[in-house]
């Protein structure tokens, strides 16, 4: 399905109605709600399902809880915000699992400086963790997906493909705890998101479904195209190592693997020095006219993971 298929389905189901306080609704990483003078509330929710988003045998429900927090907080980071509160619903098979989950959630909340403010639990053979996160920006409007303009440069934080490398390691029996941890315990780039927002990036999204999907979301939202370059994509050493072992292309780990939770963003060339001085950032291409498509070295970019 088209990478925007999930979004189109949601729009058809519930629409995109806004009002005086709801400034951004369906179609971005978070809803944006007016919250006082030059202060904006960010709200998002994500669900993690056992054997789809986490594996009980790798880290148990504690790791699932920590991952669930990171995944949700990453949506706040993608808009340049800081997380404040979490509301958690979980379904687990027994009390020991619930205890593990609680420890993981608490650890994740402490890591990102937010508070678990409420939630609900129930019993189920298959583990499910759903979180609603509330965050904020103060002093600036949140960074949306839709701000990319022709001539902007495309940047990405960190390295890509490491999470998929961890999943492939699990699937193929590679027993390397460091590599597997990239999949079981991702990190949300909150501080980096705030810094990028403060220096003036035009658009931003977190890489949850792979670079191939996320660049499409930015281009779709902004009505633009993108030209990226293979030799500039920062592929992680974990991805290179696992792909080499399995005779696979590590670039596909970055483009289609997903769950890296790095930040993909665009910015005008005149602030490139400010952007790169933040550190841990690579410029991978530029925004072009929509009719030029979304390409890498002149060829169509493979699509990442899709939910529908």
Q: Which of 13, 11, 74 is nearest to 46 (CA)?
A: 74
Q: Assign residue 152 a region (left: φ > 0; alpha: ψ between -120 and 50; beta: otherwise).
A: beta
**Given pLDDT bands bounded at 50, 70 and 90, which one contains residue 26?**
confident
The CATH number given to whatever domain includes residue 106 is 3.30.1330.10
> What is the C-alpha to C-alpha distance for residues 128 and 89, in angstroms, rounded to an integer?
8
Q: Between 9 and 186, name the one with better pLDDT.
A: 186
What CA–CA distances, in Å, run from 306 to 1, 27, 179, 189, 258? 7, 15, 24, 22, 10
**Given pLDDT bands bounded at 50, 70 and 90, which one contains residue 30?**
very high
> What is the C-alpha to C-alpha distance for residues 129 and 148, in angstroms, rounded to an integer?
33
Indicate whether 244 pLDDT > 80: yes
> What is the C-alpha to C-alpha distance for residues 188 and 73, in angstroms, rounded to an integer?
6
Cβ–Cβ < 8 Å for 32, 80 = no
Q: Return the axis-axis angle of helices 60-77 and 95-112, rounded to nearest 10°.
A: 30
Q: Which of 85, 308, 303, 113 is nearest to 210 (CA)?
A: 303
| Span of 15-19, 56-60, 88-92, 294-298 with lowest mean pLDDT | 15-19
**Given pLDDT bands bounded at 50, 70 and 90, which one contains residue 307?**
very low
Looking at 138, 160, 183, the residue that finishes a domain is 138
Same-domain check for residues 11 and 103: yes
Indicate whether 257 pLDDT > 80: yes
Q: Provide the β-strand partners of residue 88.
A: 119, 131
Within a domain: 129: yes
What is the pTM assigned to this prediction? Answer: 0.93
- How many domains does one find in the chain? 2
Same-domain check for residues 188 and 296: yes
Cβ–Cβ < 8 Å for 203, 143 = yes
Within a domain: 307: no
pLDDT of residue 277: 96
The CATH number given to whatever domain includes residue 261 is 3.90.650.10
Same-domain check for residues 98 and 185: no
> What is the C-alpha to C-alpha distance for residues 106 and 91, in angstroms, rounded to an integer?
16
Same-domain check for residues 275 and 149: yes
pLDDT of residue 1: 36
Q: Assign residue 151 a region (left: φ > 0; alpha: ψ between -120 and 50; beta: otherwise).
A: left
Same-domain check for residues 214 and 184: yes
Q: How many residues does the chain have?
A: 308
| Span of 37-46, 96-105, 248-257, 297-306 with lowest mean pLDDT | 297-306
Indicate whether 25 pLDDT > 70: yes
Same-domain check for residues 27 and 107: yes
Q: Which of 222, 215, 192, 220 is nearest to 264 (CA)?
A: 215
Which helix (H) or strand (E) is 88 found in, with range?
A: strand 82-92
Same-domain check for residues 156 and 281: yes
Within a domain: 77: yes
Mean pLDDT to the nearest integer, 26-51: 95
Listing DSSP states for 220-278 in one string gives: HHHT-EEEE-GGGS-B-HHHHHHHHHHT--HHHIIIII-----EEEEE-GGGHHHHHHT
Within a domain: 294: yes
**Given pLDDT bands bounded at 50, 70 and 90, which one contains residue 139?**
very high
Same-domain check for residues 233 and 86: no
Helix, strand, coil shares of the chain, percent, nearest 5, are 40, 25, 35
Within a domain: 291: yes
Buried b (16+ CB within 10 A) or exposed e, 189-221: bbebbbbbbeeebbbbbbbbbbbbbbbbbbbbb
pLDDT of residue 70: 98
Same-domain check for residues 157 and 130: no
Within a domain: 306: no
Please identify which residue in the block is written with the tokens 């990036």: 201
Same-domain check for residues 164 and 291: yes
Give the structural domain span for 273: 145-300
Looking at 138, 155, 175, the residue that finishes a domain is 138
Tokens describing residue 144? 């949306």
Indicate whether 273 pLDDT > 70: yes
**Given pLDDT bands bounded at 50, 70 and 90, which one contains residue 253?**
very high
Model confidence pLDDT, tens digit, residues 82-127? 999 999 999 999 999 999 999 999 999 999 999 999 999 999 999 9
Same-domain check for residues 199 and 55: no
Within a domain: 237: yes
Same-domain check for residues 105 and 158: no
Looking at 75, 110, 138, the residue that finishes a domain is 138
Within a domain: 305: no
């Amino acid at each position: 399905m088209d990478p925007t298929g999930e979004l189109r389905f949601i729009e058809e189901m519930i629409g995109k109605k806004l009002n005086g306080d709801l400034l951004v609704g369906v179609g971005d990483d978070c809803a944006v709600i007016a919250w006082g003078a030059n202060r904006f509330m960010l709200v998002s929710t994500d669900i993690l399902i056992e054997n789809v988003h986490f594996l009980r045998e790798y880290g148990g429900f504690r790791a699932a809880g920590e991952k669930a927090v990171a995944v949700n907080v990453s949506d706040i980071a993608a808009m340049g915000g800081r997380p404040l509160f979490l509301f958690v619903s979980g379904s687990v098979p027994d009390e020991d699992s619930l205890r593990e989950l609680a420890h993981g959630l608490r650890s994740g909340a402490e890591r990102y400086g937010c508070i678990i403010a409420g939630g609900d639990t129930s019993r189920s053979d298959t583990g499910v963790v759903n979180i609603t996160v509330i965050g904020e920006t103060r002093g600036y409007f949140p960074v949306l997906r839709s701000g990319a303009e022709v001539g902007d440069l495309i940047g990405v934080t960190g390295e890509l493909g490491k999470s998929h490398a961890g999943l492939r390691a699990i699937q193929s029996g590679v027993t390397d705890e460091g590599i597997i941890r990239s999949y079981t315990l991702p990190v949300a780039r909150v501080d980096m998101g705030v810094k990028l927002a403060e220096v003036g990036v035009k658009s931003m999204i977190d890489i949850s479904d792979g670079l191939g999907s996320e660049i499409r979301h930015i281009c779709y939202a902004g009505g633009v195209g993108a030209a990226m370059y293979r030799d500039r994509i920062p592929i992680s050493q974990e991805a290179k190592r696992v792909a080499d072992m399995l005779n696979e292309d590590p670039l596909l780990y970055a483009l289609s693997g997903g769950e890296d939770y790095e930040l993909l963003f665009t910015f005008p060339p005149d602030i490139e020095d400010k952007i790169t001085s933040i550190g841990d950032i690579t410029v991978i291409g530029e925004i072009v006219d929509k009719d030029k498509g979304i390409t890498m070295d002149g060829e169509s970019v493979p699509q990442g993971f899709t939910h529908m």
